[in-house]
Amino acid sequence: QQKVQQSPESLSVPEGGMASLNCTSSDRNFQYFWWYRQHSGEGPKALMSIFSDGDKKEGRFTAHLNKASLHVSLHIRDSQPSDSALYFCAAPSSNYNVLYFGSGTKLTVEP
Amino acid sequence: EAAVTQSPRNKVAVTGGKVTLSCNQTNNHNNMYWYRQDTGHGLRLIHYSYGAGSTEKGDIPDGYKASRPSQENFSLILELATPSQTSVYFCASGGDRVEQYFGPGTRLTVL
């Protein structure tokens, strides 16, 4: 069983809309989470990390973490066609050297 | 910016043949990783390394070997390639508690 589960598998939003991606963990030892983005034909690239409960905002991207429920979400406001990509949630192992990735959410932003 | 390169970018191999995938990083990161990416499974960790001379098994090491001859280079070796190893392989580098930087990937087809 994967340690990190993501939903939905795919998501379509109109240009300018809000995209919301979800991630839950089965391991209460996870101390923080990463969000990565992968455009077609490229390697994944880190978007942001979140360590503390609550919101963390970077531009149009906001991550929200609730450690009690082991849930982290990513919200993209004013979505652009260039945001169309595969988004991964990831959490580190106890020694912080290994990342466990979810299976990803495919986001399509329609012009 | 951190740089990770992979070679070859595309590879076609025959069943039972030996395949070596190479990765080079110029980030001076201690940790390096090999993942495979398949639809529905996200990124799965095959092998990783904490530094030159070290290799560790990840979640799916069977059928794969790894070699870390130097800080910069990390290879993934398929001694007897099988069609089930057809996939996209990503190499990444990272320090402790920081993001991982991914290469552009190698598409491997085993016939």
Q: Please list every residue in chain A whose beta carbon sits closer than 8 Å to the beta carbon of residue B45.
A: 98-100
Reply yes or no on whether the pLDDT at A88 is more than 70.
Answer: yes
Mutation choice for A interface testing from B1, B100, B102 by most A CBs within 10 A: B100
CB of A7 closer than 8 Å to CB of A103: no
Radius of gyration in angstroms for the set of CA atoms belonging to chain B, rounded to a whole number:
13
The percentage of chain A sitting over the pLDDT mark of 70, rounded to a whole number, equals 99
Q: Please list every residue in chain A whose beta carbon sits closer than 8 Å to the beta carbon of residue B55.
A: none
A9 torsion bin: left (phi>0), alpha (psi -120 to 50), beta (else) = alpha
Q: Please list every residue in chain B whose beta carbon sits closer than 8 Å to the beta carbon of residue A45.
A: 102
Write down the pLDDT at residue A30.
Answer: 81
Q: What is the tens place of the pLDDT at every residue in A43-73?
A: 999 999 999 899 999 999 999 999 889 899 9
pLDDT-derived band at A93 (thresholds 50, 70, 90) equals confident
- Distance between CA B73 and CA B101 in Å, rounded? 14
